[in-house]
Structure 1
Amino acid sequence: MKDMNKEVNEVREALDEVTLATFDDLENLYSTRERLHDLIQQGWLSLSKSRYSMGSRAVSTLQYPHHITPQAHVHTSETEGDGLQFLTELTRAQTMEPSEHQQHKVEELGAAESPELRRRKAPPSNGVKEEPSIRDKCPREDKQAGSESSDPLRWFGILVPQNLRQAQGSFREAVLLAGEVATLQARVEERRVRHRALLEKKTALLANDGETRGEERGELLAEQ
């Protein structure tokens, strides 16, 4: 009987902890959602202002390149008790540095050159034709990929209005918050499942305790 009461008390304490943790997560979830909503709203407002100043056709899907490299990556991990976690990572493309694919192409072309070809790359004299450089030998696709993976603001021009930069900043921060919202929602769902399991366990323990007490009362009445 004492062991039964001890187990019931442990389940009750676990239920209280899960309930309090759920309330904390819900509070964080609501506040994070509100911040996410404000950022998206501010981003669209800044984007509308930039389209008004530059023209609707100057800021539209017509400026999108054929190949777009994502700058946001989502990493997921699962931990016991917290459920899935979503980590959003934002990367900034460097237009001045070649990509790994381009560097690999350059290394291959450089290794394939002979010493005679390197000597012929000196300033031309006596009418000798200058050999094309390694940069010229690189496929055009690599050059396009390097330009298209640059800052998306360059799709709409070199000197863009400040409103467009503010819109980009708002949307980038919103992407990060979206990962936090997804993590909090998964955590709340994990708490809900945990709470239901503990509640069912508590009900089963109390039912067994009631049956045990009923049997003890029956034995006492039989002895009398």
Structure 2
Amino acid sequence: MCEAKEDLDKICETLDKLTLDALFLVQEEIDLKLNVENAMSGGEAHLAKTRYIIGQNNVSALQLPTENSAEFSSVIKVEGSESLLGANTYTLREIKKSEDETVQEPLRWFGFLVPQNLNFAQKMFRQALQWSVQAVNTQNQLQRVLHSISSLKEVKSNLTA
């Protein structure tokens, strides 16, 4: 009977720690999503300033590639990996021109001498992408913690029954 009591105490203690971890992960995810929102709105503001500086016809959908354009690769790719425990994690990898000849710098779609605001917008959008990947990783980690909590609750209910 004493051993069952010790097991129950360990399970309760672990549940308490996992619940705190879950709360911290929820807070971290909220912070990351707020950072993404702020970076996106800042990038959009810099894009609007660029349109004002060089004209709305010079920064528009007309400069973007269409389906008839030559094939190209992205500058940054999101890569996923799976750990031994089945946990997915994602990272960003920058593609160099030497690795893939079809890589194009998106700023060059708008000319060679672009305003500084367009560079700022690109940096803010890249930062938003990094925070988005971190938010996905945090969300995956939170799901694993919640799964562990539900499993331990099941074990606890079996012990108390």
Smaller-chain TM-score range?
0.7 to 0.9
> 1:116 maps to what in 2?
none
Cα distance between partner residues in 2 of 1:78 and 1:195: 22
Q: Deviations over 1:13-34 (max 9, x none)?
A: 1101211111121121111111
2:156 — aligned with what? 202
Cα distance change, pair 152–100 in 1 and its aligned pair in 2 (3 A): closer
Gaps of 5+ in 1: 102-144, 208-224
Closer/same/farther in 2, CA of residues 31 and 100 from structure 1, 3 Å limit: closer
Is 1:89 aligned to residue 43 of structure 2? no
Q: Which residue of 1 aligns with 2:118?
A: 164
* 2:3 alignment partner in structure 1: 3
Pair 197,187 (structure 1): closer, same or farther in 2 beyond 3 Å: same
Residue aligning to 1:33: 33
Q: d(CA) in 2 for partners of 1:159 and 1:34?
A: 32
Distance, in Å, in 2 between the alignment partners of 1:169 and 1:2 is 60
Q: 1:100 to 1:178 in 2, by over 3 A?
A: closer
Aligned residues: 157
Q: Distance in 2 between matches of 1:38 and 1:177?
A: 11
Q: Is the 8 A contact 1:78 1:84 kept in 2?
A: yes
Bigger-Rg structure (1/2): 1
Work out whether residues 75 and 104 of structure 2, in 8 Å CA contact, stay in contact via their aligned partners in 1: no
Residues 170/70 of structure 1: CA separation in 2 closer, same or farther (3 Å cut): same
Q: Residue 83 of structure 1: CA displacement? A: 3.1
Please list the CA deviations of residues 10-67 of structure 1 after superposition, one character each: whole Å capped at 9, or x if unmatched: 2111101211111121121111111111100100111111112222221122222422
How far 1:80 sits from its partner (Å)? Answer: 6.3
In angstroms, what is the RMSD of aligned CA positions?
A: 2.0
Deviation digits for residues 80-99 of structure 1 (CA, Å, limit 9, x no counterpart): 67932111223353xxx6x6
Moved over 4 A (4+): none
Contact 1:72/1:88 (CA < 8 Å) preserved in 2? yes
**Which of these residues, 123, 132, 140, is aligned with residue 186 of structure 1?**
140
Unaligned runs of 5+ in 2: none
**Counterpart amino acid of 1:198?**
L
What is the percent sequence identity of the aligned residues?
27
Which range is displaced more, 57-66 or 33-42?
57-66
Q: Could you tell me which amino acid in structure 2 is paired with residue 83 of structure 1?
A: A
> Does 2:26 correspond to 1:22?
no
2:53 aligned partner: 53
| Number of the residue aligned with 1:69 | 73
SS in 1 for 2:37: helix
1:109-130 CA-to-partner distances (Å, cap 9, x unmatched) read xxxxxxxxxxxxxxxxxxxxxx
* Letter paired with 2:132: A
177-186 vs 9-18, greater mean Cα deviation: 9-18
* Normalised TM-score (structure 2): 0.87
